[in-house]
Every structure is written in C-alpha cells, then in structure tokens.
Amino acid sequence: MSITTVFMKLMGGMGVTVLIFILTLLFATPLGLPLCLARMSKNKILSGISGAYISVMRGTPLMLQLIVIYFLPYYGFGINVSAKYRFAAVIIAFSLNYAAYFSEIYRSGIQSIPGGQYEAAQLLGYSEVQTFFRIIIPQMTKRVIPAMTNEIITLVKDTSLSFAIATAEMFTMAKQIAAKQASLMPLMAAGIFYYVFNLIVAQLCKMVEKHYDYYRI
C-alpha cells in the first residue's frame, strides 16, 4: 500500500473523527445546562434523578456506554438495527456522557457567583429568568472556560473509543492499516493528527477565554 493510499484512508478517518467531535459538542454543550438546572433544583425527585444520571455517566467507562447504547435496541427491545446506526450510537453515547460532565462544570460556575448578584438583579427589577440569562450565564461562561477546555481536549482523544463498535474514525483506520502493513507508521501519523487537532482546539479555547477576560487591563 502506497503512502498516498495510506494518507487518503487516514484522511477519511480524520473526517469522521472531526464530525464526531463537532456533533458531540453541538448536542452535549446545550444539554448540560438543563441537566445542571435539574441537579440544582429544590425538587428532591428531579435533583435526585439528575444526580443519579450524572453519577452513572461519570462513574462508568465511556466505552461501556457506547456498547450498551449500540446493542440496547436489539437486546432490550428486539429491534434490528443497520450498520448505519453505529455512527448514531457514537453520537448519542458521547453526547449523553459529555453532557453529564459539562453539567457539573456549569454547576460549579453558577455556584461560584456571589449571592449579591441575585440580590442586585432583584433590586433592579429583573425577573428570575432575566437574572439567569442576562447576569448569571455570561459570568458563568467566563468562569467555566478553563474547565471546559480540558474536557473538550479530552473529547478529541476520546473519539478514538469509537473503534469499540467498529466506527471507521481515524484511530480505527490507523489500526487496520498498521495491522495489514505490520508497521507503526499509520499509528504514529494518527498520533500526530490528534496532537495537532488538540493544539488547534486549545488555541481556539484560549481565544474565547481571552475574549471573555474583561477584567484584564
């Protein structure tokens, strides 16, 4: 197999990796907020259910969650799924898992905001909804960016777990090529891709953090 062929196969896997990354962020980032609010709710049932969900998602391996979600339709409900469901199962599993992590990051950011902010908003005539979206959310966003950056970088590396249900992303393609050629070169190339991808993601997150760093003179 020529170097060009290897490169083209890895590029195909790279596209799947990037797509998993983008779709996971697209779904998990907003999903984490209602989960966070449920966790902070004064309703003990709602708080308990969301707390249990977060505990399970954070306390069990993502690979196990991938396998469960992929096989659940058949073993749980007797529904036959096509090979195309593999990619959907990956996005569902990643989104549900990362939403749990993001919700805890959001919760820490919200709880770090002084109570005086709420009192000041009330004196200014803001409703609870206005206070949350106009005052709390912007401040929370700034505070959670460093922690979110860490999780997003972890997500880049976690995309390689998709191989557990035979999704042809970058790592899966590199493993297959390496096995055929008895060479570590494809795996090293994949490692370089993940590293460069993480550098780009880290730089973008740094730019966002700088944008929200309004305390800097």
Tens of pLDDT, residues 134-176: 888 888 888 898 899 999 999 988 888 887 776 767 777 777 7
DSSP string of 115-167?
THHHHHHHHTT--HHHHIIIIIHHHHHHHHHHHHHHHHHHHHHHGGGGGGGT-
Lookup result for tokens 């939403």: 99
Residue 56 has pLDDT above 90, yes or no: yes
Lookup result for tokens 């976690």: 158
Mean pLDDT score, 78-100 = 89
Residue 205 has pLDDT above 70, yes or no: yes
Collect all residues with Cβ–Cβ distance below 8 Å to 163 and sequence separation of at least 6.
Answer: 169, 171, 172, 175
CA atoms within 13 A on the CB side of 173: 21
Calpha distance 32→102 (Å, rounded)? 5
- Three-state SS at 41: coil
Is residue 42 in some structural domain? Answer: yes
Is residue 59 in some structural domain? Answer: yes
Higher pLDDT, 23 or 170: 23
Is residue 131 in some structural domain? Answer: no
- Model confidence at 60, pLDDT cuts 50, 70, 90, reads very high
Higher pLDDT, 153 or 214: 153
Looking at residue 217, its pLDDT comes to: 41
| DSSP-assigned letter for residue 182 | T
CB 202 within 8 Å of CB 149: yes
Domain total in the chain: 1
Is residue 75 in some structural domain? Answer: yes
Calpha distance 214→216 (Å, rounded)? 5
- Model confidence at 115, pLDDT cuts 50, 70, 90, reads confident
Is residue 173 in some structural domain? Answer: yes
Out of 6-20, 25-39, 155-169, 197-211, the most confident range is: 25-39
Mean pLDDT score, 183-210 = 83
Looking at residue 52, its pLDDT comes to: 96
Mean pLDDT of the chain: 85
Tens of pLDDT, residues 96-107: 999 999 999 999
Calpha distance 64→86 (Å, rounded)? 14
Segments in the chain forming alpha helices (H):
3-40, 44-59, 62-77, 85-111, 116-123, 128-131, 137-158, 170-181, 185-212
Boundaries of domain holding 203 = 3-114+146-212
CA distance readout (Å), 186 to 7, 9, 64, 88, 183: 9, 10, 26, 26, 7
Calpha distance 104→98 (Å, rounded)? 10
Residue 33 has pLDDT above 90, yes or no: yes
CATH number at residue 28: 1.10.3720.10
Mean pLDDT score, 3-18 = 75
Looking at residue 31, its pLDDT comes to: 95
Is residue 172 in some structural domain? Answer: yes
Query: Which pTM does this prediction carry?
Result: 0.86
Is residue 130 in some structural domain? Answer: no
Collect all residues with Cβ–Cβ distance below 8 Å to 188 and sequence separation of at least 6.
Answer: none
Is residue 119 in some structural domain? Answer: no
Structure tokens belonging to residue 205: 């997150």
